[in-house]
Amino acid sequence: MSWEDERDENERLKAERGMLRQVSPLVGEGGKFRPVPPSARTESQLELWELAPESFDFVEKWLNLLPRARQREHFRKLHLTKFKEAEHRPLRTANVWLRELLGVRLKKVFSQYKVDVSWLLSFEKGVPDFPDFIAEMQFSTKTDRTFANELSPKQEKADIEWQSLTTKFNQHVHREMAKGSVPFYLLSSNKLAEIAYQLAMTFAKAQREFADEQLAKEKAFSTEEINELMLQIYATAGCAAEAIGFPLKNWETFQRRKKLKAETVDVTLMRICDERYWLKQMRHKQKQMIEHIAIACGEVRKHYSSYISKNALIDWNVQQKKNYDFLKSMIIENVDNPEEQQDLLDMVFKSDTNPVNRRHLMMTMLNGVEAWAEDQGDVPLFLTLTAPSRYHATLFNGLDNPKWNGASPNKTHKYLNSVWVKTRALLAKRGIRFYGMRVAEPHHDATPHWHLLMFVKPEQKEEVITLFRNKALEEDGNERGAKEHRFLVEEIDPEKGSATAYIAKYIAKNVDGFAKDDERSDEDPELLLKDNAKRARAWASLWHIRQFQFYGVPSVGVWRELRRLTAGDISDEELEEMRLVADVGCFASYIKRQGGTMTKRADQAVRLHYCQTEPNKFGETRQKIDGVRLSRCLDWVKTRLKQWILKRKVNVVAELDTREQSDPNMGGFSAPRTCVSNCNPEKVNDTVEFMRIHRNEVEILREFLLARQISSRWITDYRLCRLIKGEKVDIYAGMSLSWNGRELEMI
């Protein structure tokens, strides 16, 4: 039997078992028969080929714009559904629907990502050179200014040269892109790494050649001339980086003809020669672009996947697991005392990175702000700011919004921030004092909206509402439903609850989902509040959106640094009094001693003290918090008393004495989690002795916890002994365990 006969026999057997869809190998009319294309591999592709073979290539061409196979399959099925449901001209109806959906909505997305790195793929070997017109370009970087509205002839000439350079480079990029067939958002991780390496080598080569050309002149350059030459390199590299879609740092400032510091230019030119810099930039943009495509395709909406797409949520969960594994494998070690070590994971759980601690901190501060407002006689307002309808990809009922302008969550967040900036400027001009907290959270389709808790004087309340409403409705304020939904004001009724209680729900639903187990989200009733919090954090992480922000209150950084200190660390009475206030958690008293709300940082009683770090590999230094100081003098108190370094954890098997090792009834001990023991010797001896006496109970409890799917990381000997003694044991996310000998209780 030949291989063709064997293949046909296998397909026949699969068809009999229902494993293969039967479709004619030749489809067509009027003698124009076409074979089934090799790309038709799925059930929906074969069905599409059987129903409308003449539109198969048209549909597949549009679907190939989508980055994921699951997305292509989803829209292929929707196309078939439209084809079957249409009463008149079904093929045209389905094709027009697909073209409008993918051709219009995706075009709006792609227009916002001018990423043109594919031209590098056309170079098979070696490092590509910059086009000749860039090397020959003599770009003027003189920073002389005129305060008149009209530019000087020299500046006009520079602008013309700039535009010509950008146009030529864009033309070159598009010519090179025609040689490649894979768009940026479909590139694999390996291909991104390859492009990052090529980019780094290209910019490094261009800088070396420029430097060699200048050195060949055998001329002694002054400091001013060297800075001028570095600006020329920065201008050329910046134009190239902007053309491929990754503008350099401070590039917009440079384009506005503002002077840049020489250190800033040097650090930037060193960064673009590092492949890890480019890889990070491209990975971040690719993730956002893929998620933006998912939003355009309707994969981010209620009843399907609120706030964030399913694939993006999976990626976030995988990254969280990687972060957890890294934290678990590392320890921090005191530089001055190497024997003092702590698990990095435990330190993270104790910090504000832990969502539970983060929520507790914000609620403590909010209670203090509200107590201060009551003492000052200020009244609270709860404001909700929403973007115009054209910023929303999906309607409230889950259908596509025909007015969507293709805006990403980042763009919408910038719009909301612009409204807030304009409103603050108006309030400041009128001398209106305001303070409170802002919460940014997503709608079901990932479009952000803001909730603001604002405290103002009673006599200024109506003016604040009017000014805010005017700015909120300044753009598309006449559209249907704008006055009812774009700007909402809720005057807080003390009988219903405090101001903090009003915003507590929004904090919980975006941090840790602190609520009853069966409580559900108000955005998507099908979503539990705990899942809502996880999705909201993933959404904020993907789009780099700051969820919470206090405004008009004294420095939160000083408050945190004061809580690091202990009694005896401070000799100044005023600073010691503020330390005590922070230690007991009274944020209202802290506000009072800092000069009250709306006080400028320079006028606050206590400010942060910074030190300069050592230069990194790019020669860049940064300001690092080192302590606190009084504004009235130069004296400062160090709050970071210990210097820690990261080290990978080393598992060391505990050494037991000969008597313990030879005991046949002795159970095995696991290795300590760090290379040294941070427990007191008395506690260690007590645990060993207790386990020897209650060995059977310990093993029973261990098996019981594993059966309840409690993570083995928490089942340590010390915790087991405490549970058997009747004590409560704290675990992650504010949960506690207790054991009464028969049942395990979670608190």
Catalytic residues: 502, 506
Instruction: Tally Cβ neighbours within 10 Å of residue 17.
Output: 8
Q: How are beta strands 379-385 and 736-739 bridged, if at all? A: unpaired
Residue owning tokens 């291989």: 3
Rounded Cα distance between 448 and 387, Å, is 8
Residue 613 in tokens: 């770090």
Angle at 240 between CA 237 and CA 241, to 5 degrees: 85
In sequence order, the β-bridge partners of residue 729 are 737
SS (H, E, C) 636-657: EEECCCCCEEEEECCCCCCCCC
Hey, which residues does 488 pair with through a beta bridge? 384
Block residue for tokens 């009463």: 87
Unique residue bearing structure tokens 């780094």: 200
- In DSSP terms, 442 is beta-bridged to 448
Report the distance separating Cα 20 and Cα 77, nearest Å: 18
Burial of residue 546 (number of CB atoms within 10 Å: 0-12, 13-18, 19+) = exposed
Task: List the strands of the sheet with 644-648, edge to edge.
Answer: 341-343, 330-334, 644-648
Structure tokens at 72: 């292509």
Q: Are 193 and 222 in contact (CB under 8 A)?
A: no
- CA–CA distance, 535 with 309 (Å, rounded to integer): 9
Backbone angles phi and psi of 132, in degrees to 5: -60, -35
In degrees and rounded to multiples of 5, residue 31 shows phi and psi of 85, -5
Question: How is residue 372 written in tokens?
Answer: 């201060």
Beta-carbon contacts of residue 371 (< 8 Å; ≥ 6 apart):
587, 588
Give the whole-angstrom CA distance, residue 594 versus residue 670: 51
**How open is the CA angle 742-746-747, to the nearest 5 degrees?**
130
CA 528 to chain centre: 22
Q: How many whole angstroms separate alpha carbon 477 and alpha carbon 42?
A: 48
For residues 739 and 723, is the Cβ–Cβ distance under 8 A? Answer: yes
Whole-number Cα distances in Å, 3 to 10, 16, 21, 25: 10, 20, 21, 18
- CB atoms < 10 A from the CB of 215, how many? 10
How many Å apart are CA 44 and CA 299, to the nearest integer? 19
DSSP 391: G
Q: Measure CA of the first residue to CA of the last residue in the chain; give whole Å.
A: 70
Cβ atoms < 10 Å from Cβ of 720: 23
Alpha carbon distance 486, 190 (integer Å): 45
Token pair, residue 679, equals 């427990």
Compute CA 464 distance to the chain's CA centroid, rounded to the nearest angstrom.
Answer: 32
